[in-house]
Amino acid sequence: MSLRLPLLAVFPLSVLVGCATVKPRPTAPVATTEAVTVAAPGGLAQPVPVTAVELGAAEVAPTVAATQWVSAGVLEATLRAAEQVTGPASTTGRFWDVVLAPTQMSRSIVQRSLQLVGMRSLRRVSRGVPDDCSGFVRLAYRSAGIDLVAHGFRAGENAVSAIFRRAVDVGSVHHQPPRPGDLVFFRETYDRNRDGRRNDGMTHIGVVEAVDAHGTVTFIHRGGKGVARGRLNLSFPSRHQLEQGGPVVNDYIRPAAKGSRAYLAGELFAAFASPEGL
């Protein structure tokens, strides 16, 4: 069982992130708008990006993604509550480092994902899965003994939607800062039904490799050129780079087409899902 859930269960307020169909929770909705700056060990201030989910909603449509911010006061209160469980930061490390530490299951998933980076085709390692993004995550999760499509498919359902449905059913979908090994879902990354409209739902999936100090998520996925890394930053979802010549924070994952511009990973992000329970 992940450490994240038992820790957050005792907090006066959970710091979560939002957009997808999730199970209703009795907590009142959270709507906050300020950026967070938290003092890191050594006295250096760091921005900590957190996206909030409306906890009271029974259903949040996958096509509606609202990135919000938790105020410094709220985060500080949460960190103080965490100290009651984990101890002071000076002796046990930063709270998020404890909560988001990868499990052995997650390490296995990431290790397998890394082994596949650079492959132009999954056919080189397996013919038992499709040579696409869903086949890649299925291979990665098999290393941890998880069959992501063991529950089967519904009529007309693509593999990404089927995996997302399973993650929702078992309660592993989340919008918290992800851990290595988590799944990351995207919507509308291509015109799946070829009707020229953005109504295709869940269409792409990858595996989280790491998250840096600025909140940029590195994920591994099977894209158009094979298995490669991509970047996602929900603090700046519509920015490719924060400044000209600066580091990339969001990669393009939907190319421009006739009558349509290219879209960034942050713009098409839908949800994360942890491997526990899948």
Summarised one tens digit per residue, pLDDT across range 180-235 is 999 999 999 987 767 676 767 899 999 999 999 999 999 999 999 999 999 999 99
Helices 133-142 & 159-170 angle (0-180, nearest 10)? 50
Higher pLDDT among residues 85 and 169, named by residue: 169
Is there a contact between 218 and 117 (Cβ–Cβ < 8 Å)?
Answer: no
Q: Report the pLDDT value the prediction gives residue 126, as an integer from 0 to 100.
A: 95
Rounded-to-integer distance, Cα 79 and Cα 73, Å: 10
Q: Report the pLDDT value the prediction gives residue 254, as an integer from 0 to 100.
A: 94
* 75, 112, 242 from 34: Cα distances, Å: 11, 38, 19
pTM score: 0.65
Question: What is the DSSP secondary-structure string of 118-148?
Answer: T-S-GGGT-SSS-SSHHHHHHHHHHTTT--T
Q: Report the pLDDT value the prediction gives residue 167, as an integer from 0 to 100.
A: 97
Q: Report the pLDDT value the prediction gives residue 217, as an integer from 0 to 100.
A: 98
Residue 155 has pLDDT above 80, yes or no: yes
Summarised one tens digit per residue, pLDDT across range 102-149 is 788 999 999 999 999 999 999 999 999 999 999 999 999 999 999 999
Summarised one tens digit per residue, pLDDT across range 255-264 is 998 888 999 9
Summarised one tens digit per residue, pLDDT across range 6-58 is 333 333 333 333 333 333 333 444 344 444 333 443 333 444 443 333 333 33
Residue 244 has pLDDT above 80, yes or no: yes
CATH class of the domain whose range is 104-273: alpha beta
Instruction: In the chain, list all ranges with CATH 3.90.1720.
Output: 104-273
Rounded-to-integer distance, Cα 58 and Cα 26, Å: 9
Residue 93 has pLDDT above 90, yes or no: no
Report CA torsion sign: 124, 126, 128, 131: negative
